[in-house]
Amino acid sequence: MPTAPTSDAPRTTLRADILSVALGLLTSEGPTAVSIRRIARELGVSPGAAYYHFDGKGALYRALVADGLAAVEQAILEATPAAAPPLERLVAIARAYGAFGLAQPDLYYVVMMLRADGIPELSDAEKAPGLRMLELTATAISDGIADGSVRAIENPVGAALLLWTTLHGIVGLAASRRLEMTAPGLDANLLLETAI
C-alpha cells in the first residue's frame, strides 16, 4: 500500500501533474492510451505515488471531469456580476462559457464531450457545478423575463438549455477541431458573439 506524501505541497503538485499528463494523453492518443503506470513513468515517479492519488483510470477520468466542471463554473462566477441586470448577467455567462472552452479546448473536449467505456458516472456532488451553471442561467432568464429585458420561452430552464446547447455546439466544434475542417477560416469567437 502506498504511503502518504509528507506534505500537502508535493501531494497537490503531483495530483495536478498526473491530471495534466492524463489530459494530454486523452486528447492526443485517446482513452486507451491512459494508464496510471504510463503516467507515472512519464512523470518519473513510482506507480505507487500515482496510485496514491487515483486508484485507476476511472478515478483519474472522473477527477478530470469534476475538476473541469468546477473550473468552468468558477470562470462563469468570476465573470458574472451578481448585482447586474439580468440581460447583462446572461451575456456574461454565455461569454465566459465560450471563452473558457475556446481558451482550453482540450479540457473542454474531455469534460464536455469525451465518453469512454468503463468510466464510472459522476456522483451528484461532482455533477453539481454543471447544474448550478444551468440554474444561474435560468435565473438570469427568469429575472429578464420578469423585467422585460429578455424574450424567451416561458420556461426559463428550457430557454437556458437552448442557450447552453447553442454555445456547446459552437465551442464543441471548435474544441474538437471540426469547425476548422468544415468551415476553414470561420472565427469561433465571432460565431459565439453572433449567437450570444
Assess whether pLDDT exceeds 70 at residue 8. no
Q: Residues 39-78: pLDDT tens digits?
A: 999 999 999 999 999 988 888 888 988 999 999 999 999 9
Amino acid identity of residue 53, one-letter, is H
Give the pLDDT of residue 9.
Answer: 42
SS (H, E, C) the chain: CCCCCCCHHHHHHHHHHHHHHHHHHHHHHCHHHCCHHHHHHHHCCCHHHHHHHCCCHHHHHHHHHHHHHHHHHHHHHHHCCCCCCHHHHHHHHHHHHHHHHHHCHHHHHHHHCCCCCCCCCCCHHHHHHHHHHHHHHHHHHHHHHHHCCCCCCCCHHHHHHHHHHHHHHHHHHHHCCHHHHHCCCCCHHHHHHHHC
Compute the Cα dihedral for 125, 126, 129, 134 and give only its sign. Answer: negative
Most confident of 15-19, 109-113, 115-119, 181-185: 15-19
Q: Could you give the percent of the chain with pLDDT greater than 70? A: 91
Residue 19's alpha-carbon distances to 11, 57, 81, 84, 154, in angstroms, are 12, 11, 31, 36, 41
Any idea which residue has 416561458 for its cell? Answer: 154
What is the C-alpha to C-alpha distance for residues 85 and 63, in angstroms, rounded to an integer? 35
pLDDT band at 118 (very low <50, low <70, confident <90, very high): low
User: C-alpha grid cell for residue 14?
Assistant: 503531483
**pTM for this structure?**
0.82
What is the C-alpha to C-alpha distance for residues 67 and 42, in angstroms, rounded to an integer? 22
Give the pLDDT of residue 147.
Answer: 93
Q: Residues 144-163: pLDDT tens digits?
A: 999 999 887 778 888 899 99
